[in-house]
Structure 1
């Protein structure tokens, strides 16, 4: 796939491309406190709400915390845990919703 096609497709889906200096701690659109910050927390919160508009606020906050909590010294293990979060998170949410004791 050409980079033009990829970029155009992603822009059509609502993705915005900014070069790293623009979102750096002192950048024009600063989105991180330090260079070591790998998660853009503001964008993550907005994405969780946009992708899950009907979940309660506390469930969105729980999802946010779980994404940030994925912790392992091995990159492959982290990636696998992150990959499974949407499915496991939805299962936990559904169990909590239908549980008569909740």
Structure 2
């Protein structure tokens, strides 16, 4: 599972495909996914700041890759905090 449209994600996705893995990728906008990768992975539209989407997306994945913060973030510290909050385990309660 990886964000496939930034700087690192497409490279990692290609390497996974070359290694024979069918990755699950989490693009916010599946239309931005590289056409060459569409047939070799499973795209699950997700915003990595949406807690419910982040918790649902792995659904049995063997491994996770998370790139933080988004490279296009205007405020990288705020973006990192939002991702951390969305992806932190829930408190019992």
Q: TM-score, normalised by structure 2?
A: 0.28
Larger relative contact order (CA 8 Å, sep ≥ 6) = 2
Q: Which has a greater percent of strand? A: 2
Larger radius of gyration between Structure 1 and Structure 2: 1
